[in-house]
Amino acid sequence: MSDTNNHISVLLIKSLTGEITASEDLELKQWMQQSDANRKVADEFLKNDSFKEGLSDLMKKETIWERIQEQINLRSGKVIRVNWYKRIAIAASVFLVLGLSAYLAFFQKSDGNKGKEVTKTTDINPGGYKARLILSDGRSIILDSAASGELAQQGNTSILNKNNQLVYESTGQVGSDEYNTLATGRAEMYSLTMADGTKIWLNSESSIYFPVAFNDKERRIEVTGEVYIQVAKNPSKPFIVSVNGMEVLAMGTEFNINSYKDEDDISTTLVEGTVKVSKGGINTILKPGQQTKLIRNGQFTPPASINIDEITGWRNGWFHFESADLKTILRQFARWYNVEVVYEGPVKNRKFFGIVKRSSSLSTVLEMLQDNDIIFKIEGKKLIVKSG
């Protein structure tokens, strides 16, 4: 990469983010006038709204550098570590040296994919806030945005539906024999505030089995699928989550559990506080920002640092992928869009980076996976994937 490329790269980035000075803007315009190629590259870079939005968001999270490193490493086999100012320069320099299509592929689809759009007979809308509540007496209540207000009264606990959230308000102690189940299907998610103030978010195809109010010994629940839990602090009552024979002990903690049956392992990721994860006498302690996985041989992987935004993005309405493989991504799409993924022949299980709203349609989120080697086709409730 030449010094000229580095310098022009900085000017492009500054122009894109609105930080360019008058003299720098004049210099950039003079460079654009030197050739049609310069003008075309600058115009494509500066006028691509999706790229601008993606770059702005990723710069805030400082994840753009991981993307650039990935591409540089693939080409040179070297790891380059520089300060943030130089990261910006290299970011745009990669754009100039590798070309527009290669660089834009970091964020969405490459210029070379025109003509390889997602083929669809009909598009598929995203999932939404919906769930099913099963009361202790066996009654079942469908929850959605239309069902609001008080739903039921169990003992001294009122059960209310407020703004896509199930809320339990208790005025007294209730025996632990009164249990409810909250469950989501495909294309559904929901949240719950328990009687003790603990908040729980359920992703698609997930469930929680819990007492209407906790007794005076412990707070214990059972979950399946994927949940994010924000535990209300109460040192005298340990909070225990059971999932497929594994237990997570927490006190005043926020953490995510992913226990889908079609995943290879059960992952526990700690956001805040401390948790002890155990099974069969084996346990491990997590610190904030760490994850452990219970693998098939019954062992826990050593705690490892993880990108929290990638793990918990679903709770805030985002798909967030950092070097995620294709099949892992499509399993998430299958749950949220209620589609069956069908692979026609072998497909290279490539790694992808991307951030996209879960409120987007299926064809829209697939655009960030567009690659010269992969073709997507939507047919009814099937997503067909094959090599290009």
Domains annotated on the chain, with CATH: 3-107 (no CATH), 119-124+314-387 (3.55.50.30), 128-310 (2.60.120.1440)
- Position of tokens 């080697």? 373
pLDDT at 342: 96
pLDDT at 61: 44
Distances (CA, A) of 151 to 25, 175, 180, 200: 61, 20, 13, 19
The pTM (predicted TM-score) of the whole model is 0.72
Between 76-80, 93-97, 163-167, 382-386, the lowest mean confidence (pLDDT) is in: 76-80
pLDDT digits (tens, 9 = 90+) for 151-169: 888 878 889 998 889 999 8
What does the pLDDT average to over 67-84? 41
Give the helix/strand (H/E) hosting 180: strand 179-183
Q: Which has the higher per-residue pLDDT, 243 or 176?
A: 243
Cα–Cα nearest to 255, from 208, 287, 211, 209 = 287
pLDDT at 73: 46
pLDDT digits (tens, 9 = 90+) for 180-235: 999 999 999 999 999 999 999 999 999 999 999 887 688 999 999 999 999 999 98
Between 55-59, 159-163, 336-340, the lowest mean confidence (pLDDT) is in: 55-59
Length of the chain: 388
E-state strands within 295-350? 304-305, 318-325, 340-344
Q: Does residue 379 surpass a pLDDT of 60?
A: yes
Q: Which has the higher per-residue pLDDT, 337 or 64?
A: 337
Tokens encoding 222:
């059972």
Cβ count near 67 (within 10 Å): 20
| CB of 248 closer than 8 Å to CB of 257 | yes
CA distance 315 to 277: 22
pLDDT at 221: 96
165 CB burial (10 A radius; 0-12, 13-18, 19+): middle
Q: What angle do CA 310, 315, 316 make, to 5 degrees?
A: 85
Between 15-24, 59-68, 233-242, the lowest mean confidence (pLDDT) is in: 59-68
Residue by residue, DSSP assigns 18-62 as T---HHHHHHHHHHHTT-HHHHHHHHHHHH-HHHHHHHHHHHHHT
CA distance 366 to 115: 15
What does the pLDDT average to over 111-130? 70
Max Cα-Cα span within the chain: 79
| CB of 93 closer than 8 Å to CB of 355 | no
Across-strand partners of 7?
none
pLDDT at 33: 86
Mean pLDDT of the chain: 80
pLDDT digits (tens, 9 = 90+) for 241-263: 999 999 999 977 999 999 999 99
pLDDT digits (tens, 9 = 90+) for 272-313: 999 999 998 899 999 999 999 999 788 999 999 998 989 999
Cα–Cα nearest to 367, from 4, 118, 20, 92 = 118
pLDDT at 175: 53
Q: Does residue 112 surpass a pLDDT of 50?
A: no
